[in-house]
Amino acid sequence: MSGYVLAIDQGTTSTRAIVFDKDQKVKGVGQQEFTQHFPQDGWVEHDPEEIWQSVVSTVKAALKKADLTAADIAAIGITNQRETTVIWDRATGKAIHNAIVWQDRRTAATCAMLRKAGKEPLFTKKTGLLLDPYFAGTKIKWLLDKVKGARKRAQNGELAFGTIDAFLVWRLTGGKLHATDATNAARTLVYNIGTNEWDAELLKLLDIPAAILPQVKDCADDFGETDPALFGVAIPIRGVAGDQHAATIGQACFEPGMLKSTYGTGCFALLNTGADMVRSKNRLLTTIAYRLDGKTTYALEGSIFVAGAAVQWIRDGLKLVKHASETGPLARSADPGQHVYMVPAFVGLGAPWWDAEARGAIYGLTRNTGPAEIARAALESVCYQTRDLFDAMRRDWKGKGNDTVLRVDGGMVASDWTMQFLADILDAPVDRPEILETTALGAAWLAGMKVGAWPKGKDFAKRWARDTRFSPQMDAATRKAKLKGWDRAVRRTLTE
C-alpha cells in the first residue's frame, strides 16, 4: 500500500490540501482563500459552493505539486472549521442558505432567552458547552426559522444538516454518505458527550428535527469513497476531526495533561483529560478530544475568537502592513514606554468571559502611538488571552499543569517575537514543532493509521520533534504589571 495520505484542511479563511508521504513529510500543497461575507454587524457567512470548489481545486493542485495521481493516495483525512453550519437539499446537494460561520453572533438573543429560562445548566451537563452563538445548535434553529419552508422540509427528511466536514463528505461521496465524527458532533449543542448520541431533549428545546442530523462515527472510520468522477479514481475517506482536535492529534497530545494551542483565525487551547470528563468551574468547555475504536478521550478547551484575525485586521482593515509576517518585526520596534492594550472582541469575547455583545477596543493610546505600538498590542492580545485560558485550566485540572509545556501550532507561531512574549506572559515553556502543519497532519494520521499505511499512536508520537523551545525571560514584576493592565482593559470592555 502507498504511504501517501491526503489531508483536506478546510479552514475559516482558506482551504488547504496537503499530501504527506509515509514519513509524514509534506510532498505537495494546494491553498485557496475564499470570500468572507458580513451581511450585518456580528454576522459572518461563507458560500458553501465556493468552499466546495476550493476543496476540489486544492486537492488537484496538491496532487500536481506532489507529482502524484489520485491512484497513489492511500486515504483522505478531513479537518474543518468547527461549528460552521450548513443545511442542504438531499436531492440536489445545494445549500438552502449561506453557511453560518462559527464566529457569527446573530443568535445571541436566542441564547440569552434560553439562559433566562434556566436552560444553560442542562445544555452544559449534557454537551459540556455553554449557551453561546458560537455553537451550531442555535444556528440550525435560525436557518429552520428564517428560510421559508425549511422546518417542514426538514421534518419530511428532505434536508440535511452538517458542519463543513459532513457537507464535504456528502459532496465527495456523491451524496452516498451523510456522516460526521464525534468531535464535530460535540460542538453542536445537541450531542450528549457522555452517551455519545444525539440528545432528544435538547433537540426538542431548539425545535430541531432528528431527521436532519448526520450519523456520528469515530474520528478514524469508514467515511466512504470519493466519487471517481472527481479525481479519476475512488479514494477512501478514513479520517475526520474538527480542526482543533486534529491539531491535538497532530501534536501527539495523547496523554492526559498534555496541552496544545493553535493560533489561526482564532486561538484554541485543548488540555487532554483522558477518560475523565472534567466539569469546568472556570467557564471552559468540556469537549471530546477524539474518539478512536469507540473509546472517547475528553479535553478541556478554551476558545478565543480572534487571534490571527487581529493581524488580518491590522493588514486589511488598518492597512498598517502589506503582509502578516511584517507585524512581528514592527512590534519589536514599538516604544517600550507605551502601554497599549488591544481587546480584540470584534465578534464578542470567548473563554473565560463569554460576552457575545462585547466589541473590540484599544486602550492607552497617546499622541506618540503609531503602527508599531498597535501591531504590538494586537500580537500581545493573543498571548494575554492564552494566559487567561492557561490560568483557568490550571484551576480546573485537579491542581495539575503548573509545569505544563505548551505545544503551539498555526500561522502565528512562525513569529519568534510573539512566541517569546507568549512564554514570558505564561511563565511557562512554549514548544514549536518541526512540522507546523499539525492540523492537517492530525487528519492525515487518522486516515493513514486507519488503512494501515501509517503507524499507531505511540509510534506516531515518537516522531513528534521540537523545532524551538521558548523559555520565560520576563521578570515577575514586569509580568504582574502587564497582566494587571490587561485585566483592567478586558473588564472595561465587558458588557455583562
Q: By CB neighbour count within 10 A (0-12 exposed, 13-18 middle, 19+ buried), where does 224 fall?
A: middle
Calpha distance 390→424 (Å, rounded)? 13
Taking alpha carbons only, the member of 251, 496, 254, 480 closest to residue 353 is 496
d(CA 313, CA 189): 30
Contact 288, 245 (CB under 8 A): yes
Radius of gyration of the chain (CA): 22
Please give the grid coordinates belonging to residue 470: 521558548
Residue at 199 is within a domain: yes
Domain holding 74: CATH number?
3.30.420.40
Q: Does residue 259 fall inside a structural domain?
A: no
251 annotated ligand binder: no
13 annotated to a ligand binding site? yes
Task: Check: CB of residue 115 under 8 Å from CB of residue 131.
Answer: yes
Query: How far apart (Å, rounded) are the C-alpha atoms in residues 359 and 383?
Result: 19
Spell out where 293-412 has E strands.
295-304, 341-343, 361-363, 406-409
Find out whether 411 is annotated in a ligand binding site. Answer: yes
C-alpha cell at 206: 431548539
- Reduced to 3 states (helix: H, G, I; strand: E, B; else coil), residue 294 is coil
- Whether residue 100 is contained in a domain is answered as yes
In a domain, 121, yes or no: yes
138 occurs within a structural domain:
yes
Evaluate whether residue 254 is within a structural domain.
no
308 among the known binding-site residues? yes
Residue 180 included in any domain? yes
Give the pTM: 0.86
58 is in an annotated binding site: no
**pLDDT above 90: percentage of residues in the chain:** 71
- Rounded to an integer, what distance in angstroms lies between the CA atom of residue 401 and that of residue 409? 19
**C-alpha to C-alpha distance for 435 and 409, rounded to whole angstroms:** 9
Phi-psi region of 486 (alpha: psi -120 to 50; beta: other; left: phi over 0): alpha
Residue 83 among known ligand-binding residues: yes
Annotated ligand binding at 407? The verdict is: no
287 inside domain: no
Query: pLDDT (tens digit, 0 to 9) for every residue of the chain, 496 residues total?
Result: 678 999 999 998 899 999 999 988 999 999 999 988 999 988 999 999 999 999 999 999 999 999 999 999 999 999 999 999 999 999 999 999 999 999 898 999 999 999 999 999 999 999 999 998 989 999 999 999 999 999 999 999 999 999 999 999 999 999 999 999 999 999 999 999 999 999 999 999 999 999 999 999 999 999 999 999 999 999 999 999 999 999 999 999 998 888 899 888 888 899 999 998 999 888 899 999 999 999 999 999 998 888 888 888 888 888 888 888 888 888 889 899 999 999 998 888 888 888 878 899 999 999 999 999 999 999 999 999 999 988 888 888 875 544 578 999 888 888 899 999 999 999 999 999 988 889 999 999 999 999 999 988 888 988 888 899 999 999 999 999 999 999 999 999 998 6
Spell out the alpha helix ranges (H) of 36-119: 48-65, 108-116
Give the model confidence (pLDDT) of 272-300 as tens digits.
999 989 998 888 999 999 999 999 999 99
Q: How many beta carbons lie within 10 A of that of residue 276, not counting itself? A: 14
Q: Note down the domain range covering 175.
A: 5-244
Read off the DSSP letter of residue 5.
Answer: E
Residue 312 annotated as part of some ligand binding site: yes
Do the annotations mark residue 265 as ligand-binding?
A: yes
Q: Is 84 annotated as a binding residue?
A: no
Number of domains in the chain: 1
Q: DSSP 3-state assignment of 158?
A: coil
The three cell numbers locating residue 240: 475526520
The answer on whether 215 is annotated among ligand-binding residues is no
Backbone φ/ψ region at 113: left (φ over 0), alpha (ψ -120 to 50), beta: alpha
